[in-house]
Amino acid sequence: METERIALSQRERDRLGVLHEIRRKQITQIEAARRLKISDRHIRRLLVGLSKRGDRVLLHGLRGRPSNRRLAAPFEQQILRRVRQCYADFGPTLAAEHLAQEGLLVSRETLRKWMVKASLWCPRAQRIKTIHVWRERRASFGELVMQDSSPFRWLEERGPACQLIAVIDDATSRFYARFTEHDTTEENLRTFGEWLRRYGRPVAHYTDKNSIFRTSAAAPLGEQLRGEKARSHFGRALRELGIEWIPAHSPQAKGRIERLFATLQDRLVKEMRLAGIDSIAAANHFLEMRFLPAWEERFTVAPRRPRNAHRRLDSEQRLEEILSVRVGRQVADDHTVSWDGHRWGVPREEVCAGLRGAQVEIERRLDGSHWLRFRGRYLRLRHCPAPLRRPASPSGLRPAGLAERRTKPKDNIKPKYHVPAHHPWRKPWNRTFLSCEKPDISTLR
């Protein structure tokens, strides 16, 4: 007779050993129940089953059979069909949330198993694992904020390509973000300025080494004499606000905001797809009014210390002046300065002594206005239109009368002198002086 093989788990093997000890009268039923943490009545039930069915008494009755609480197969097919139609690239958690909004209630774990079986989701164990060095969060809200931008097809094919500039707090994961057309200094200043107006000045600002935040140019002579390093427009704004700038030496060093972008590229893109967002303005409105409140309610964490480390803006710290782009220029004799191919002039009523020829700064603010900084005061600038130029004439055509004016002889013009043929300069005796022989004077008469 062939021996039957039964697969038992470690817990089942331990129970079987205790039951055999009872049958050998090595321990009592009360002692075995205390060891297995079950009732003595259940011990007696197992002993009866052991004498009738053998070791199979330890196997659950539904082993190898479908569960009695299993969801119906038609419902499973309906769920998978809906996932294939609308949520094919969604994760199990996000897909379960949207299915619940449609009235199709299924748990995240059940949906994950169904999606794995249908090859709609790859288990985490089968993915390529990356190594990250863990760093503890900061203790208080506002101790450290990270800023970065992410170029991505946020609107997919429905709208233009755009950038997402985000600022996230390290202690709580609270963030603010804006969609912009380009990743420029002005857009980064505008995004960070909104964070400052909402929460105040953070203690430290953490970014990468992009040219927006760090410059490799040499500092002006005045700053070199004061022992200061060259700073970008963003770095100069942080210095005036009293915020420490910390550069990241690798993308992994600012992993919190990188993981934020990875989450937003999954969740935010699909939420905007379902909402039919197709423009940058609509995307910013959706992000601020719908997505950010839901994010703060669900994904933000409580800091270890409840104290808010943000500092209030001082009365002399005017954001419209600090969050700007400044360049140094020299004032011309007509009290104008040039920048980006345009000329800007100081109005007559604001011209002051020492302005002509002085070294000044042009300040372009985020609202588009231009100002001139001179000796600690601001002077208004007005745009000077370019001088009008005579339009070029078509090729081959000349203005009327131009040919006649060119052919007409000019008055008081002395005619060009031509040396006559009998002039002594044209005689061959000049070549005599070039030779080494003594010239014959008689031939010169």
Tokens of 443: 């031939």
Within 10 A of 224 (CB to CB), how many other CB atoms are there? 12
* Residues of the chain where predicted confidence (pLDDT) is lower than 50: 1, 402, 430, 432-436, 444-445
272 vs 355: CA distance, rounded Å: 53
The CATH number of domain 144-298 is 3.30.420.10: yes
Place of tokens 């004499």: 225
pLDDT reported for residue 411: 57
Q: Is 426 helix (H, G, I), strand (E, B) or coil?
A: helix
Give the pairing of strands 175-180 and 162-169. Answer: antiparallel
H-assigned helices in 221-343? 221-225, 233-241, 255-275, 280-286, 292-298, 319-322
What is the domain partition of the chain in residue ranges? 10-58, 85-126, 144-298, 323-384
CB-based contacts of 237, cutoff 8 Å, min separation 6: 189, 322, 323, 324
229 vs 216: CA distance, rounded Å: 10
Residue 99 main-chain phi, psi, to 5 deg: -65, -35
pLDDT reported for residue 433: 47
pLDDT digits (tens, 9 = 90+) for 255-264: 899 999 999 9
Residue 84: name the closest of 72, 73, 95, 74 by CA: 95
175 vs 199: CA distance, rounded Å: 11
263 vs 269: CA distance, rounded Å: 10
Place of tokens 């100069």: 236
236 vs 84: CA distance, rounded Å: 51
Residue 42: name the closest of 59, 26, 19, 24 by CA: 19
Place of tokens 């700073």: 231
261 vs 250: CA distance, rounded Å: 16
Tokens of 155: 């609107």
Percent of residues, the chain, with pLDDT higher than 70: 85
pLDDT digits (tens, 9 = 90+) for 418-431: 778 777 777 765 45
